[in-house]
Amino acid sequence: METQPALINLLIKNKEKILSAGKYNETEFSDLINSLSQAESERNLILKKIEELGTLNIETLRKELSLSEKTLLYNIEYLKACGSLEFIGETPRFFQETIDTFKKNEIFPNALIIREKKLCCGCGLCVSVCPVDAIRYSKGTFEIDDDVCIDCGLCYACCPRTFFPIEMKRSQENVSNIKFLEQLNYFQEICTAQTTDENIKKVAQDGGVVTTLLKMAFQQNLIDGALAVGLGDNPLEPRSLLIENEEDLLKTAGTKYTNSPMLQILHDYRNYKRLAVVGTPCIMEALKKLTFYPKNKPFYNNIVLKIGLFCMESFDYESIIGLLKNEFHQSPEDIRKMNIDKGKLIIYDKTGSIFDVPIKRIKKYGRFGCFFCDDLTSEQADISVGSIGSELSWSTVIIRTERGAQFFQKAIKSHLLIKNKIEEDSKSFQSLSSIAKSKLKKYKTLHRPIMIEQEPSIRSTNFEEVPKGLTEDLVKIEAQRCLQCGNPQCVIGCPVNIRIPDFIKLLREARFIDAIHEIKTYNLLPAICGRVCPQEIQCEKHCLLNDLGEPIAIGYLERFIADWERKNKLKECPDCKPPNGIKVAVIGSGPSGLTCAGTLAMEGYDVTIFEAFHAGGGVLSYGIPEFRLPKEIVKEEIETLKMLNVKIQYNAIIGKTLDFEDLKEMGFKAFFIGVGAGLPMFIKVKGLDLNGVLTSNEFLTRSNLMKAYKFPDYDTPINIGKIVTVIGGGNVALDSSRTALRLGAERVIIVYRRSEVEMPARKAEYHHAKEEGIEFKFLTNPVRFLGDENADVRFMEVIKMELGEPDESGRRRPIPIQGSEYVIETDTIIVAIGTRANPILTKSIPELKLNKWGYIEINENGQTNIEGVFAGGDIVTGSATVISAMGAGKKAAKAMDEYLKKSYLQS
């Protein structure tokens, strides 16, 4: 005899608790057990067969086990979801955590993971299926009472957002006139319809079709009740309710796009013989899932009509209140009706006024769960109704199933509804179809593409770029993965707030010129950012796909489109306002200065950048090596600025060549200081004055800006010997070490006082460095440098460290281990332990307020204590990232624009 499955055991063990919760009576409980046992034995059978065959072949299984295809499909999906089919290479779609739990307990975990992964669609089905009534729904999602929960995992298994065989979503009835479109799924007919009932017209959305269908169903005694959403206690607050007669119907009419977990009350009405359900696509999906899980259930078989609504996304009650407040300055009490039409959300207030905002603007209020949904038209319903594609006061109706057709025909015959045909080539049909298409999600894979890189052994001998970029084909596939969220978190993660989903959508449509234009409106340096931004802690960190698999490779896409533009010799230039003749000085041409200059130029200002070096880009030119950021790219991006009429004056050190007063005399009205943090820090050890000891600044400037790697073709020399030791654990240390390797060092060692975990360098760069053979000595700190009679460095004496208590940076403080000193032979020592503020400029403006480290103090707008003088980037924050400096430049530019408008343009 087979052993009892774990789930059945668990339920039986908790029988008393379940019965006292009141959801199941004795009979229903044993029905549930039976149905679950039956499903269990079916799955065992299938699993055994697959093991026997060693492969997954639906056709063979169907023949050999004489099971229906439907039964096979959902059981296989279930087996995949619990990780049981990994042995034949079937990787499950969902989460490893779930599989780990299942492997341990043979029971799914509860549905909290769906909430954590922001997948919850808010249908409320979990509340209904919980046998011990442990789940409550509130504020847009559900809570599970740990004390009551028996960990049966039924909520997880029933959730429409867990396993759901794609084939089941695409199942069809055998009807002769059935049609199929990817974006609309199967349907028999699409038409528009309108109620003839004047009372309904007054309150209902659009054509009042849903209310009228239900009215007819009650009149003709086709249903006993209808589950729908009506108004709750507060204005606009949704409430799931059961309508039992025609009179109650008007309560539901004109609901307001608020998400309602209506299925949470489904079990209350299991005794109703014939139930209609009206709901959004997610509700329809949940009902569909109920048809195959739990299998042969003794209840929930009473739903005779599923009326689906069109839905772009729904809003939590709290969000809709926020939406009304922020976008319309209205409170819910004042709203009579809301409608979405022609790309706009329209509200009708009680005084009869009408307001609208573009849907684009309200998308951010949508539920996260909605962003994973690709169903606009309630594809799992019997009949779907919505406003998209129809005239005012009409509704678009998609008749999908035989049952849907029957109900609709009856309403037409009894003259409750009138209908109009929609031709497939009509404008209405096209608009419905294209909006539905825009909601399709095409993430076939949860993995991001891998960029081809130069082989470590080859690249360590040249200065060419390591990653080679994505191909156009891979870019198009990757762009398809983007969920096009209404509330894109990536944009929030981006310091310059590029509208990432918008440019990805353009890539998806292969509208490359538009895509680069879109990016450049927000970021004039995409080729640079695509390469050196730490996307993993910015935009990509916030991508919703992180929760499912891997985030969209935003950086790769940005890099691709910028490179595409360059390769095609195009120069997309963002739109600029007409020149206003106001002169603005930007001091420093690093990332913050370039961004500030570009932003102001777009606003019409006459911008001049003053740069101390003979080349622009600041750290992009002197600091970041060629193999990470080719200097040609920096040049090209600066060219874009010149197209915006930004002037650059090289060899101009403000505080030396020109001073602040000179600039004022030259007519500059506002100033941005973005001079970076250029001074090197030294460690206090003996031997710093030996030859062969140099700062990373000197080393990298020689190699990058002065091209010493091309010596003697370029005159600037560099000599590093055979063994190079680099001190530090940041990106600069890695850049220095990899540059040394490329300059011909036989051995390059990085000495870092903390451990691998605390390294501030980007993980990808660390990985690259390791691949190239850079040696890492973690928890090691220099004690002194020893040289020979020519004052050439020969050895570095180091001491081993251990980690103590966390310090002010939150990282564990490294403490020397007494007596652990030893020496490393070395020909060159590069000190890469950070930089600090350069006082040349700040000293020349004595009234400028600095903090104790010499960095400039600014307010939240980037303004210093001097009127008209703004600052940003490393000279404010100390060493940080390229993009954060760009963000600061942009922010300051906006404040400067406001300041200048107020001071010079308004009069």
Partner 1 sequence: MPYKIIEKRELGNSGQVFEMVIETPLIAKKAHGGNFILLRINETGERFPLTIADYDREKGTITIVVQVVGKSTKLLSHQEVGDAILDIVGPLGNQIHIEKYEHPVVIIGGGIGIAPCYPQAKELKEAGNKIIAIIGARNKELLFWREKMRSVSDEFIICTDDGSEGIKGVVTEPLKELIKREKTSVVIAIGPLIMMKYVALTTNGSGNLPKVKTYVSLNTIMIDGTGMCGGCRFSTVDGEIYFACVDGPDVDGHIVDFDNLLKRANRFLDQEKESVECYDRECRALERYESEGT
Distance CA 300, CA 32 (A): 12
- Min CB(525)–partner 1 separation in Å: 22
Task: Tell me whether residue 339 or residue 696 sits nearer to partner 1 (CB atom).
Answer: 696
Shortest spacing between CB 670 and partner 1, in angstroms: 22
Neighbour-count burial for 426-455, b at 16+ CB within 10 Å, e otherwise: eebbebbbebbeebeeebeebebbebeebe
Residue 492: CB minimum distance to partner 1, A: 35
Beta strands per DSSP E along 645-710: 647-649, 668-673, 679-680, 693-695
235 vs 680, which CB is nearer to partner 1?
Answer: 680
Nearer CB in complex with partner 1: 680/816: 680
The contacts of residue 248 (CB under 8 Å, 6+ apart) are none
C-beta of 21 vs 880, nearer to partner 1: 880
CB of 712 to partner 1, least distance (A): 5
Nearer to partner 1, 101 or 621 (CB): 621
Q: Is 803 within 8 Å of 819 (Cβ atoms)?
A: no
Q: Greatest CA span in the chain, whole angstroms?
A: 109
Which of 649, 659, 692 is closest to 793 using CA atoms? 692
Minimum Å distance from CB 665 to partner 1? 12
CB atoms within 10 A of CB 275: 22
Phi, psi angles (nearest 5°) of residue 143: -125, 145
Q: What is the DSSP letter of 576?
A: -
Q: Is 670 exposed, middle or buried (0-12, 13-18, 19+ CB in 10 A)?
A: buried
CB of 838 to partner 1, least distance (A): 6
In the bound complex, what is the minimum distance in angstroms from residue 550's beta carbon to partner 1? 39
With respect to partner 1, which residue has the nearer C-beta, 549 or 878?
Answer: 878
Comparison of 535 and 695: residue with beta carbon closer to partner 1: 695
Q: At what angle do helices 500-508 and 554-567 cross, to 10 degrees?
A: 60
SS (H, E, C) 322-377: HHHHHHHCCCHHHEEEEEEECCEEEEEECCCCEEEEEHHHHHHHECHHHHHCCCCC
Rank residues 157 and 831 by Cβ distance to partner 1 and give the closer one.
831
Dihedral (Cα; 74, 75, 78, 84), 10-degree rounding: -150
Residue 797: how many CB atoms within 10 A of its CB? Answer: 16
Report residue 537 as tokens.
Answer: 């802690």
320 or 677: whose CB is closer to partner 1? 677
Note the Cα 537 to chain centre separation in Å.
12
**How remote is the C-alpha of 865 from its chain's centroid?**
38
In angstroms, rounded to a whole number, what is the distance separating the alpha carbons of residues 212 and 363?
A: 30
Among residues 386 and 616, whose Cβ is nearest to partner 1? 616
**For residues 612 and 883, which CB has a smaller minimum distance to partner 1 in the complex?**
612
Beta carbons within 10 angstroms of residue 904's beta carbon: 13
Least distance (Å) between residue 608 CB and partner 1? 13
Smallest gap, in angstroms, from Cβ of residue 614 to partner 1?
A: 4
691 vs 877, beta carbon nearer partner 1: 691
Which pairing describes strands 189-195 and 395-399: parallel, antiparallel, or unpaired? antiparallel
Q: Which is nearer to partner 1, 8 or 679 (by Cβ)?
A: 679
Q: Which is nearer to partner 1, 110 or 697 (CB)?
A: 697
- 208 phi and psi angles, rounded to 5 deg: 65, 25
> Of 656 and 767, which has the nearer Cβ to partner 1?
656
CB of 790 to partner 1, least distance (A): 6
Q: Cβ closer to partner 1: 114 or 612?
A: 612
Q: How far is the CB of 651 from partner 1 (least distance, A)?
A: 4
Output the CA–CA distances (angstroms, integers) from residue 65 to 52, 78, 305, 742, in the order listed.
Answer: 12, 17, 33, 64
Give the shortest CB-792-to-partner 1 separation in angstroms: 8
Task: Give the residue from 136, 143, 366, 379 showing the smallest Cα distance to 258.
Answer: 366
Amino acid of residue 13: K
Instruction: Please give the Cα distance from 158 to 285 (Å, whole number).
Output: 11
Burial of 621 (0-12, 13-18, 19+ CB in 10 A): buried
Q: What is the binding site for partner 1 (CB under 8 A)?
A: 612-614, 649-653, 656-658, 678-680, 682, 686, 688-689, 691, 694-695, 697-698, 701-702, 705-707, 710-719, 790-791, 838, 840
Q: Shortest gap between Cβ of 851 and partner 1 (angstroms)?
A: 19
When the beta carbons of 677 and 723 are compared against partner 1, the nearer one is: 677
Short-list 320, 327, 310, CA closest to 365: 320
Least distance in angstroms from the C-beta of 845 to partner 1: 16
Least separation in angstroms between CB 506 and partner 1: 38
Print the SS3 string covering 158-178. HCCCCCCCHHHHCCCCCCCCC
Quote the CA–CA distance of 184 and 161 in Å, as a whole number.
Answer: 20
Q: What angle do CA 302, 288, 200 make, to 5 degrees?
A: 65
User: Considering the complex, what minimum distance in angstroms separates the CB of residue 719 from partner 1?
Assistant: 6
Q: Give the H or E element holding residue 586.
A: strand 583-587
In the complex, what is the shortest distance from the CB of residue 715 to partner 1, in angstroms, rounded to a whole number? 4
Paired tokens of 378: 């309630």
Rounded to an integer, what distance in angstroms lies between the CA atom of residue 223 and that of residue 304? 8
Residue number with CB closer to partner 1 (523 or 697): 697
585 three-state secondary structure: strand
For residue 882, the minimal CB distance to partner 1 (Å) is: 18
- What is the CB-side half-sphere exposure of residue 898 using CA atoms within 13 A? 9
